[in-house]
Amino acid sequence: MRTASIDWDELLARLNAVLRIRTTPIGMKLFESEAAMNEVPRVRRPRDIHTTDQLVGMACRLNWTVGFTMDDLVGAQCGAVIGLHPQDDEWLSGDRMAGVWYETLEDASAHQHAMDFVPYGSYEAMVVSPLSAKRLNPPDVCLIYATPAQMIILINGLQWRGYEKMEWGCVGESACADSWGRALRTGEPSVSIPCFAERRYGGVMEDELLIALTPDDLVVAVEGMEALARNGLRYPIPPYGIQTDARAGLGVSYD
């Protein structure tokens, strides 16, 4: 574990050098009490009711540090994923999605049961903040929005040392469960295809994917991407041409 010794200015400079990230990388941290959340330097509190997607968007697209509780969220779906609302029978029933997102109540309930979430009861609040602000000391997880090409290079970086096959699910709507819900629950790197709500309310762009990962795994990914770059495997990936003789390029990348 190297989280305590991370130089965030240096790490983010290295991340931008290998990936040219256009959206601010942010951190996400849960707090046991609202009072502890309020101790975060220069934390903003919402004036209106929002989705978690909107609050995450304020951090990664406006560079704000935002703290919130369940009282600031529009409904149970947002709070349950991050452990601020009970995952009770009413929530698990999926009755609010039946006939809208899913044909039957059984389909909607199956969706709710499939979601990854932080168990309820340990936390009262959350803060999202740009990693460059260094206000979370450290975050529980880091969130990075990237294009598919950037994302595969980042995944390749994670796999450079100590290779593991990475597998994720897709719950469809409420895909925040696939990213920050899963990463907060398991501590494992988690990639998602941001859903309708994330794009409609959180400002996620059409060509963006999302990865949530611990600070330690972010360090591993950057080190791996730097090693790959030294081997000529870097972003942007230049097209070789669909009618070009592939042997010369393959000889460099795979021999």
Residue-level pLDDT at 2:
57
Closest to 186 (Cα-Cα) out of 245, 140, 240: 140
Residue-level pLDDT at 3:
63
pLDDT at 249 over 90: no
Q: How many residues does the chain have?
A: 255
Residue-level pLDDT at 177:
98
Domain positions in the chain are 3-237
CB 89 within 8 A of CB 54: no
Tell me the pLDDT tens digit for each residue of 124-179. Answer: 999 999 999 999 989 999 999 999 999 999 999 999 999 999 999 999 999 999 99
pLDDT at 4 over 90: no
Which residue in the block uniquely carries the two structure tokens 């965030």?
Answer: 8
pLDDT at 252 over 90: no
Phi and psi (nearest 5°) for 174? 70, 40
The gap between the terminal CA atoms of the chain, to the nearest Å, is 34
What's this model's pTM, rounded to 2 decimal places? 0.95
For residue 17, the surrounding DSSP H or E stretch is helix 8-19
Closest to 180 (Cα-Cα) out of 170, 191, 167: 191
pLDDT at 1 over 60: no
CA distance 47 to 64: 14
DSSP state of 144: E
Tell me the pLDDT tens digit for each residue of 82-139. Answer: 999 999 999 999 999 999 999 999 999 999 999 999 999 999 999 999 999 999 989 9
Report helix, strand or coil for 54.
helix
- Token code pair at residue 227: 């090693």
Residue-level pLDDT at 151:
98
CA distance 172 to 253: 35
Which residue in the block uniquely carries the two structure tokens 């009618």?
Answer: 243
CB 235 within 8 A of CB 150: yes
| CB neighbour list of residue 216: distance below 8 Å, 6 or more residues apart | 1, 2, 3
CA distance 93 to 96: 8
